[in-house]
Structure 1
């Protein structure tokens, strides 16, 4: 992807809209929409690295109620010709083709390599990667099981959404509350994952979310891992101007 002069590429992750309640998350949604409205002026592309919603499940004809402000803004930006890329997180794991069909936003379930300008990026949500996150890795196998998804689909949406939202907030394995402490540069499992990837190929930048902690860790020669933080506590995002990557606070 070429980056035109004066343009930038923006990265954001972990909004968890809808948590702990729709009313409580509304100010955060409005703040995020305001940010989107500002960056569209010089954005060459926008990467959303998952957990935009605290829970998302697509039935064949039903999607979760609400989020009209952010969905409308994403549609507006996409319609204007600015590409948006969405990486499914552990909270919106059950996303299917709604974003692609309604918003023209491609979705990815695994980390993906991008060449942005003359830099090579490895981008993803980050859940289940590296040596840690063991509790979630076990739970993810259940969530990805086709039988479990089929059974959940038979819940009436009113019941299914309420149950899922309750578990999303209360269950620490799902919410990630148990993993929000900095583990140290030598123990951060996404940094360890990045170092392992470097054994086979060089990447200038590894960009992930999921940890809810903004961080910058050198993982190799001329290679850096960044975590984007979140839009709950830190309100941080990443920006690449074609030369360097920077974490910023909104």
Structure 2
């Protein structure tokens, strides 16, 4: 009995090494697992489900093979791929979850999320997030030609990278109070998320109760996988070939 969690792969046609590692992971490590959870930023950029590039078709095929084998796969949107929608789900069999979802993880109620909603000290990012998650703005964006959306997405991605280089690293990390508030709001003592690219297991004293926050790693230098069994949880790495 094993459940796997991954996040922040930032897959793109420009990083074949990451893509190869992901495809090997899907082919060799997902057989006979109970479920696979992808907690956002699977792609470096997603401008709409109608982008049927050969690269995207390759990734979708890997998920379809997994779900066709009877293994459930779940996805929570990240800040880079929040436009993944119903068509992607239908083509892959991947089930889309709410941005904050509680699951029963071998008897332990666990809150899973991408993690960006916990970074409340990054005011500029939260303002941007609110804007791009506006349904009307998304509706307008999706009515632009695919080529135009690609140019806009590439420009936003470049601006975001430049802005992050100027920010204090602590501002882009989660806020401790926001973590506790969310754990209490969902009445759980365990949380799993990505986004910050700081893999670790944090123990939290929450009003006398012990809580756990597990942070998934990114896939920039090696693959990062959280392996959970009824007995334990372990953050593991996968080396690029």
TM-score range, shorter chain: 0.7 to 0.9
Say if 2:106 and 2:229, in contact at 8 Å, map to a contact too: no
> What is residue 223 of structure 1 aligned with on the other side?
211
- For the pair 1:196 / 2:191, whether they are aligned, the reply is no
> What is residue 146 of structure 1 aligned with on the other side?
135
Q: Residue 238 of structure 1 is aligned with which of 195, 202, 226?
A: 226
Q: Residue 51 of structure 1 is aligned with which of 21, 35, 41?
A: 41
1:134-173 to 2 correspondence within 5 Å? 134-172=123-161
Query: What is the alpha-carbon root mean square deviation over aligned residues?
Result: 2.5
Q: Distance in 2 between matches of 1:10 and 1:179?
A: 32
Task: State the shift of 1:212 in Å.
Answer: 1.3
> What is residue 3 of structure 1 aligned with on the other side?
none
Task: State the shift of 1:29 in Å.
Answer: 0.7
> What is residue 13 of structure 1 aligned with on the other side?
7
CA 1:110–1:10 in 2, change beyond 3 Å: closer, same or farther?
same
Q: How high is the TM-score relative to the length of structure 2?
A: 0.86
> What is residue 211 of structure 1 aligned with on the other side?
196
Say if 1:191 and 1:225, in contact at 8 Å, map to a contact too: no
Q: Distance in 2 between matches of 1:69 and 1:177?
A: 32
Q: Distance in 2 between matches of 1:8 and 1:180?
A: 37
CA 1:150–1:68 in 2, change beyond 3 Å: closer, same or farther?
closer
Say if 1:152 and 1:160, in contact at 8 Å, map to a contact too: yes
> What is residue 23 of structure 2 aligned with on the other side?
33
Q: Distance in 1 between matches of 2:140 and 2:57?
A: 28
Task: State the shift of 1:151 in Å.
Answer: 2.8
Say if 1:15 and 1:231, in contact at 8 Å, map to a contact too: yes
Of 118-127 and 147-156, more deviation after overlay is shown by 147-156
Q: Distance in 2 between matches of 1:102 and 1:212?
A: 29
For structure 2, list consecutive stretches of 5 or more residues without a partner in the other structure: none
Q: How high is the TM-score relative to the length of structure 1?
A: 0.83
CA 1:199–1:109 in 2, change beyond 3 Å: closer, same or farther?
closer
What's the secondary structure of 2:117's corresponding residue?
Answer: coil
Say if 1:49 and 1:88, in contact at 8 Å, map to a contact too: yes
- For the pair 1:82 / 2:71, whether they are aligned, the reply is yes
Say if 1:172 and 1:178, in contact at 8 Å, map to a contact too: no
For structure 1, list consecutive stretches of 5 or more residues without a partner in the other structure: 1-6
Task: State the shift of 1:132 in Å.
Answer: 2.2
Task: State the shift of 1:173 in Å.
Answer: 7.8
Q: Distance in 1 between matches of 2:223 and 2:168?
A: 15
Task: State the shift of 1:169 in Å.
Answer: 3.5
Give aligned pairs, total: 234
